[in-house]
């Protein structure tokens, strides 16, 4: 057979794999964990907005562990996709079952994974197809918690101040929907719109309040959600705003688990040992940590049985997580993407970058953290570097680089602001900010272009273009630093502008590797 013909005919067709499904659970290989409880006993106690990979590898995993440990099964999850039907289309034929693959490397550095089929996701609703179903789910008598992983931009807030963006077109649209006219099931677009309308129905029906639980990487995510939702509700009906404030609770919570986007390779890596096809498995790391304030309006799952920390005040955990884990992640993402290191493990394998992350954390971030009993900070940072070095995750630096405008205020600028207030050095933190600015030019050090994915991409491009007209690098950085949605009160701060100019100048002239090496040294 000629080579051309062989290519057309392709390899012999493989037997199509049976789909993961409750009826196929019994045939799973023994080493694959699976639901060992009766799924029929689950009740839909949690409505989760944003049922992407993170929610499934985090909330559903902790929930599954709690139920396995004998916890209350009335907290099954109804997932909501606010945009695309893809997760529902993948999981409906599997009756909500999906596989979590915990991946790392063995002592010899060979990748390995442990598979678990998760059973507590009961249903997935697709908001644009049936907004009324989402409102009804939030208003359902069974619902006791409405949780969210909608990413930073899903909160429709001004990143630097946390204020509701009333002028955002989707917010403006949702504010116009009539909360009294429930029969028409308004075509809501925002998470806040769905929450306000769902809670409006609950209140109208005299049903008990619920807990609103944000699982996103925002500062004081519970309080932030409360402020936004109450501001939104006040615009559509002050009594509803009062009811939410008086009865619903919004615990702050801090989530930590690295969950890269699923690829075709992941599907194959899971299908092979499973001997079944899972349309949307989720790869993740073995590490998982969750601190949540124990302040629930209508009960909660027995998450303590799953090792979740139930705390009075999550603030110290939040600082640690956002500033150390996410701050390092963003620094590695921008520097790595510019240097052409496509994945986080590739980037952190460079001694210069590893050194920079350690110095930034130990010298500049550590003094801004709040005391946590028994925390060995150096061990925590070393543990983070080991997590980032996990070669089995292939976490793309470009994935983390997305939405910088929404992430950097809490990951880097809050720390910078506190350091500046005491006159403390900020060279490494400013390098991370300069790396973002460098990244926004859209071409890496090898001349390869990429798109800037950010809800404020257009405004950022304009700010950059305006800054480019300035005669010196210092003036360009100063002009760009007036982009207030990100820089907020630090706009134009002389010390920050000086430090960013120095770092950006170095990135532009000697590149990422040499700059990281220099900035990793004591200054």
Where do contacts with ligand CS2 occur on this chain (CB under 6 A)? 217, 256-258, 325-326, 329, 399-400, 407
Burial of 402 (0-12, 13-18, 19+ CB in 10 A): middle
CB of 399 to ligand CS2, least distance (A): 6
Query: In this structure, how many other beta carbons lie within 10 angstroms of the beta carbon of residue 307?
Result: 13
State which residue, 285 or 302, has the beta carbon closest to ligand CS2.
285
Are 498 and 427 contacting, i.e. CB atoms less than 8 angstroms apart?
A: no
Residue corresponding to tokens 């008086």: 246
Q: Which residue is nearest to ligand CS2 (CB)?
A: 329
- Catalogue the E-assigned strands of 18-58: 46-49
State which residue, 320 or 507, has the beta carbon closest to ligand CS2.
320
| DSSP structure string for 451-516 | ----TTHHHHHHHHHHHHTSSSHHHHHHHHTT-HHHHGGGTT-HHHHHHHHHHHHHHHHHHHHHHH
CB of 150 to ligand CS2, least distance (A): 13
State which residue, 46 or 401, has the beta carbon closest to ligand CS2.
401
**Using alpha carbons only, what angle is made at residue 54 by residues 52 and 56, rounded to the nearest 5 degrees?**
75
CB of 392 to ligand CS2, least distance (A): 15
CB of 53 to ligand CS2, least distance (A): 10
CB of 215 to ligand CS2, least distance (A): 10
State which residue, 258 or 431, has the beta carbon closest to ligand CS2.
258
For residues 500 and 490, what is the distance between their CA atoms, to the nearest angstrom? 12
**Using alpha carbons only, what angle is made at residue 61 by residues 219 and 115, rounded to the nearest 5 degrees?**
130
Are 148 and 215 contacting, i.e. CB atoms less than 8 angstroms apart?
A: yes
Query: In this structure, how many other beta carbons lie within 10 angstroms of the beta carbon of residue 521?
Result: 10
State which residue, 64 or 256, has the beta carbon closest to ligand CS2.
256
CB of 348 to ligand CS2, least distance (A): 13
State which residue, 52 or 198, has the beta carbon closest to ligand CS2.
52
CB of 292 to ligand CS2, least distance (A): 14
State which residue, 132 or 389, has the beta carbon closest to ligand CS2.
389
Structure tokens, 69: 């440990």
């Amino acid at each position: 057979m000629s080579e051309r013909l062989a290519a057309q005919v392709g390899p012999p067709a493989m037997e199509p794999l049976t789909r993961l499904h409750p009826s196929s659970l019994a045939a799973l290989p023994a080493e694959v964990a699976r639901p060992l409880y009766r799924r029929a006993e689950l009740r839909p106690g949690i409505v989760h907005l944003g049922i992407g990979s993170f929610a499934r590898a985090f909330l559903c995993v902790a929930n599954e562990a709690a139920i396995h440990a004998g916890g209350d099964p009335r907290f099954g999850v109804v997932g909501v996709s606010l945009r695309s039907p893809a997760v529902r289309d993948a999981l409906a034929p599997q009756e909500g079952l999906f596989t979590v693959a915990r991946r790392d490397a063995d002592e010899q550095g060979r990748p390995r994974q442990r598979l678990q089929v998760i059973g507590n996701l009961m249903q997935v609703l697709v908001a644009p197809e049936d907004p009324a179903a989402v409102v009804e789910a939030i208003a359902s008598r069974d619902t006791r918690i409405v949780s969210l992983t909608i990413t930073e931009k899903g909160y429709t807030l001004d990143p630097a101040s946390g204020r509701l963006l009333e002028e955002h077109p989707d917010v403006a649209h949702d504010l116009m929907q009539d909360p009294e006219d429930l029969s028409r099931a308004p075509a809501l677009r925002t998470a806040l719109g769905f929450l306000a309308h769902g809670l409006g129905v609950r209140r109208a029906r005299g049903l008990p309040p619920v807990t609103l639980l944000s699982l996103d990487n925002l500062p004081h995510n519970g309080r932030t959600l409360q402020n936004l939702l109450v501001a939104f509700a006040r615009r559509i009906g002050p009594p509803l705003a009062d009811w939410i404030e008086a009865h619903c609770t919004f615990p702050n919570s801090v989530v930590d688990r690295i969950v890269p986007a699923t690829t075709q390779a992941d599907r194959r890596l899971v299908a092979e040992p499973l001997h079944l096809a899972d349309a949307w498995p989720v790869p993740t790391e073995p590490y998982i940590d969750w601190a949540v304030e124990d302040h629930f309006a209508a009960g909660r799952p027995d998450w303590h049985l799953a090792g979740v920390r139930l705390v009075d005040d999550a603030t110290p955990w939040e600082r640690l997580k956002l500033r150390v884990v996410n701050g390092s992640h963003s620094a590695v993402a921008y520097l790595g993407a510019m240097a052409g290191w496509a994945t986080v493990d590739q980037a952190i394998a460079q001694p210069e970058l590893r050194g920079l992350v350690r110095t930034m954390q130990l010298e500049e971030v550590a003094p801004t953290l709040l005391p946590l009993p028994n925390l060995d900070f150096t061990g925590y940072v070393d543990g983070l570097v080991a997590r980032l070095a996990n070669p089995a995750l292939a976490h793309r630096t470009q994935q983390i680089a997305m939405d910088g405008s929404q992430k950097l205020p809490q990951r880097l600028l809050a720390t910078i602001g506190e350091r500046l207030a005491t006159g403390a050095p900020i060279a490494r933190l400013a390098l991370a900010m300069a790396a973002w600015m460098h990244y926004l030019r859209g071409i890496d050090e090898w001349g390869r272009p990429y798109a800037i994915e950010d809800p404020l991409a257009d405004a950022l491009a304009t700010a950059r273009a305006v800054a480019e007209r300035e005669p010196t690098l210092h003036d360009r950085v100063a002009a760009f630093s007036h982009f207030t949605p990100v820089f907020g009160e630090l706009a134009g701060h002389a010390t920050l502008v000086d430090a960013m100019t120095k770092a950006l100048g170095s990135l532009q002239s000697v590149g990422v590797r040499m700059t990281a090496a220099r900035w990793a040294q004591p200054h």
